[in-house]
Amino acid sequence: MYKILIVDDEKMIRMGIRKVIQWEKLGIEQVFTAGAAKEALEILKEHSPQIMITDIQMSEMSGLQLIEEARSLQPDLRVLVLTGYDSFEYARQSLRLKVQDFFLKPVDETDLSNAIEMQIRSLERKKAEAQSFLLAQRTRGVAEQMRLEAQMRDLIHRRGESRQLLKDLHEHYSLDRFSGYQIVLIVPQLCMHNQAAENNFQEMSMKNICISIVDAQEEGITFFDDDGTIVAVYFLGEEGDSVLEKTRELSEILQDEFDCKPKIVIGSAAERLDGLYVSYHDARHLLDTEKEGLQDIVQLLGEQNKNSIFQDIYAELKGIMCSNIGNTEHVLKAFRTFAKAAESYNLSRQTVRKLCFELASAIYFAYLGEAGETETGKLDALSKSLRSASREEACEVTEMFLSQMLGSQEENVHDIVAKAKYYIAEHLTEELTVSNIAVSLYITPNYFSRLFKRVTKEGCNEYIVRKRIEKAKSLLDTTSLKIGEIAMMVGYRDTNYFSLAFKKHTGKSPTKYREEIQGVSEALSS
């Protein structure tokens, strides 16, 4: 994603441009605005936008002067010029400054959008060319690869002058000294039982496969250490891309290729390149102490505990969501807790995408089972949305999916409860249970029970009893029917049970209630 800066001393113009262009579709993540050249230069220093749109006529410093100053800070900055003056001199100076495009105000929204899109395409081409060049250098240039591997060995074994070594790695191979790295050791000999010469061939084959996966996808650098162990140095991404997840995939590929899993050991994360030897020695220590262990992938105890704790949290939240399908607010609250936990535990975007889909699938099928819905294609649409999503986007997309799915259910909740109340009123003399009411509504008893309680604030059985007692009171008050007959008319086959239920709700037996009501009526009529 790219960043753009809009500079114009007229607020209406700069804010207008900001609002009318569909930045996300163009691939622009951040849009900055400035009302003067000085402010624009500060934004360039702090945020380094790749594209700048600027007016020419501004107070303090003209747009042309701003371009010169900006280019001294960012030589590759791409510039689009806006002006209200149809001046040849302005156009000539803009050409001298090598601006990418020149527009007269008022600029057409579509023309400006197309011009911005062209700049982004150009940036993408340049980026791809640079990546292709570096990739060709590393994966095809045998001499360069050998030189890189030798320098990486020197780095992890702490040989030579470290400052010069770090400088060379930065200048020749674009390794950022201040980015995060993590060592992974791959030990093929632990799963090989052939002769030494064949083992050497298999070790080289295994290393080449690692290069084709790790190096070629620009996820790290693969080489042999001094002991002949395969070392993969993974680049740690901004979104906490999980090295564990990547090594699991690598382990499965190597197992398919060699019919056995190698031992893989993960070192600690290094915040800087010069701390890589610590990650390496942590991994070597784990390897030396775990050689006879049964685990295929070994990592530091703290990382193992962290993964175990998160799995417990995830399982608990998944259970909460699936068992509360009738309560949308409860489900979404639990999902937001999952999203916060995923961020706190710095899960990789790949892991988050996977877990989001697992959660959505589990909740979706629980919803189908309880609500009786049969709509198809929803999970396919979610899967497509998750494929290229970042960690935050994956959580946002999944929450939206759950909200829409369960939200459509919310629209039907009150209708379901209303139908249930009508059914109860019509069948009050019959045997009424949560189960047979749910069956009549084509939903599960658990789902119906939760919905009814949430909407009415009382359980369905409690509601049925209350309605039966209300009808019984009316019959006792207005008729001379026997207590047994009234019990039958309000759905009780057992007169004693009816009497107990009536007394519990009114504090009096049916007979006592009738005597008191009729006594009051006689007193009023005399």
Mean pLDDT of 33-62: 88
Whole-prediction pTM: 0.41
Closest CA to 233 of 299, 185, 301: 185
| Helices 460-478/495-506 angle, 10° precision | 100
145 lies in the same domain as 292: yes
| Number of domains comprising the chain | 4
CA-CA-CA-CA torsion sign (119, 123, 129, 133): positive
CATH of the domain at 442: 1.10.10.60
Mean pLDDT of 20-42: 90
113 lies in the same domain as 235: no
Top-confidence range, 194-208, 333-347, 380-394, 489-503 = 489-503
H-state helical runs in 442-489: 445-456, 460-478, 483-489
Mean pLDDT of 206-229: 88
Question: Which of 373, 408, 443 marks a domain boundary?
Answer: 408
Spatial separation of the C-alpha atoms in residues 40 and 309, rounded to whole Å: 47
Spatial separation of the C-alpha atoms in residues 62 and 55, rounded to whole Å: 8
Mean pLDDT of 17-28: 89
- 101-110, 220-229, 333-342: the lowest-pLDDT one: 101-110
Average pLDDT, the chain: 81
For residue 5, give the 3-state DSSP assignment. strand
CA-CA-CA-CA torsion sign (280, 286, 288, 293): negative
pLDDT at residue 247 is higher than 60: yes
Provide the percentage of residues in the chain whose pLDDT is more than 70. Answer: 84
pLDDT at residue 433 is higher than 70: yes
377 lies in the same domain as 466: no
pLDDT at residue 223 is higher than 90: yes
61 lies in the same domain as 100: yes
The strand pair at 180-187 and 230-236 is best described as antiparallel
pLDDT at site 372:
56
- Assess contact for 298 and 287: CB atoms under 8 A: yes
Spatial separation of the C-alpha atoms in residues 307 and 471, rounded to whole Å: 59
For residue 176, give the 3-state DSSP assignment. coil
Question: Which of 361, 390, 408 marks a domain boundary?
Answer: 408
pLDDT digits (tens, 9 = 90+) for 298-309: 655 555 556 667
96 lies in the same domain as 165: no
pLDDT digits (tens, 9 = 90+) for 251-299: 888 887 877 778 888 888 888 888 898 889 888 888 877 655 555 666 5
- Assess contact for 489 and 475: CB atoms under 8 A: yes
317 lies in the same domain as 461: no
pLDDT digits (tens, 9 = 90+) for 102-135: 788 788 888 889 889 988 888 888 887 777 766 6
395 lies in the same domain as 427: no
Provide the percentage of residues in the chain whose pLDDT is more than 90. Answer: 11
Question: Could you please report the per-residue DSSP string of 358-369?
Answer: HHHHHHHHHHHH
pLDDT at site 335:
92
Spatial separation of the C-alpha atoms in residues 487 and 498, rounded to whole Å: 6
H-state helical runs in 294-390: 301-322, 328-344, 349-371, 378-386
Cβ neighbors of 44 (< 8 A, separation 6 or more) are 5, 52, 70, 73, 74, 77
pLDDT at site 192:
45
51 lies in the same domain as 24: yes
Spatial separation of the C-alpha atoms in residues 399 and 381, rounded to whole Å: 14
- 238-252, 271-285, 422-436, 506-520: the lowest-pLDDT one: 238-252
Spatial separation of the C-alpha atoms in residues 243 and 234, rounded to whole Å: 7
Q: Which residues pair with 31 in a beta bridge?
A: 4
pLDDT at residue 356 is higher than 50: yes
165 lies in the same domain as 240: yes
Question: Which of 79, 107, 134 marks a domain boundary?
Answer: 134
Domain encompassing residue 92: 2-134
156 lies in the same domain as 102: no
165 lies in the same domain as 128: no
Cβ neighbors of 74 (< 8 A, separation 6 or more) are 44, 48
248 lies in the same domain as 322: no
pLDDT at site 224:
92
pLDDT at site 130:
74
pLDDT-based confidence at 161, cuts 50/70/90? confident
CATH of the domain at 161: 3.30.70.270
